[in-house]
Amino acid sequence: MLCETCRVRVLVGLSGGVDSSVAAAMLLEEGHDVVAATMKLWGGSGDSGCCSVGDVDDARRVAARLGIDHHVFNFSEEFEQSVVVPYAKAHALGRTPNPCIECNRHLKFRRFLDRAVRLGFDAVATGHHARIANHGPDSLPRLLRGRDAAKDQSYVLSMLTVRELSKVLLPVGELTKPEVRSRAAALSLQTAAKPDSQEVCFIAAGPGQGPRERFLAERIELHPGRIVDHATGSVVGTVPAVELVTVGQRRGLGASASGPRYALEIDAASATVMVGSQDDLLTETVELIQRTWVQGPLPVGAVVLAQASAHGRPRPVTLTETGVRYLDGPGRRVAPGQTIALYTGDEVVGSGIAA
């Protein structure tokens, strides 16, 4: 566990965005020994989102402005094998993966952290909008929502455990986004007005077919599929690529006399999309795999809040042997492959992936 008042040697993951830029500046102001490193994760045709060539240049300029050393770690091979390949394979199976969470799991808080420890750093820091608290009866680090609810990123960090959190600093978690930009502007940082990254970093927009379809078509075979009505079992339409359909999707699936159809299940092996009404989309339970716990597993029957997307509405659930059960009525099905973060109040206690 880090000493909250000690001067420590910190390796900051400088992404080239405003949040990590201000995180580095705050640590310097606190008197820490700060070095910056940018992870070069992707070098393909989609080199446009976070971790792009332009972001590396921005990070270098920020480091120069702050007067700290800057390095670039080439993790592109690990990123390909741990994030990109599983992303494509998941779509081939009819699942909807979350590559940003897997990047955090495998690269930003494992590979990067391991490198930092080997180089003699006491901690790593990022610009994520979340907080770490070390107080409590057991003094173990706790992961909390960021102070700015609109920018909270605790969901994408919900797979972290005390192993990582004990060596992680999240300086901007106590700030709102306007406060972050104000600090960056006051320091004349290159990134002060830079827009936030919105898209999957390795999928670039371009002419013609949709970027996700174009990217996946280069890596997996896309198959036309049939749309089958849940109630009648009859074929009611087709989709150009079953691998591109997501559970809960409505667009492109047509409508019936009772209203729009929603994707309920995707069977990639038989190239079938099962559709039904909005009521058919509801479920009482969600099965979870790859469950992780921040401090340790909670018992079956424990009541927590479940959040199924980065800014989704948390809902009360009880933990079951295999997942969670909604307590306030049925909820929409969660697409297989998506993460569900578990909270008690503002504290992340664990997460799992929808089966």
Q: Determine the Cα–Cα distance for residues 193 and 187; give it in Å rounded to an integer.
A: 12
Half-sphere exposure of 219 (CA within 13 A, CB side): 20
Separation of first and last alpha carbons in the chain = 34
Residue whose C-alpha is closest to residue 133's, from 176, 92, 174, 72: 174
**Contacts of residue 179, Cβ cutoff 8 Å, sequence gap at least 6:** none
- Burial label for 78, CB within 10 Å (0-12, 13-18, 19+), is middle
Residue whose C-alpha is closest to residue 201's, from 314, 59, 46, 332: 46
**Active-site residue, from 50, 51, 100, 103:** 103
- Cβ distance 153 to 130 under 8 Å? yes
**Active-site residue, from 50, 51, 100, 201:** 201
- Catalytic, 100? Answer no
- Cβ distance 167 to 34 under 8 Å? no
- What letter represents residue 315's amino acid? R
Say if strands 282-283 and 331-332 run parallel, antiparallel, or are unpaired.
antiparallel
Q: Determine the Cα–Cα distance for residues 56 and 52; give it in Å rounded to an integer.
A: 6
- Catalytic, 103? Answer yes
Residue whose C-alpha is closest to residue 153's, from 178, 131, 130: 130
Active site residues: 103, 201
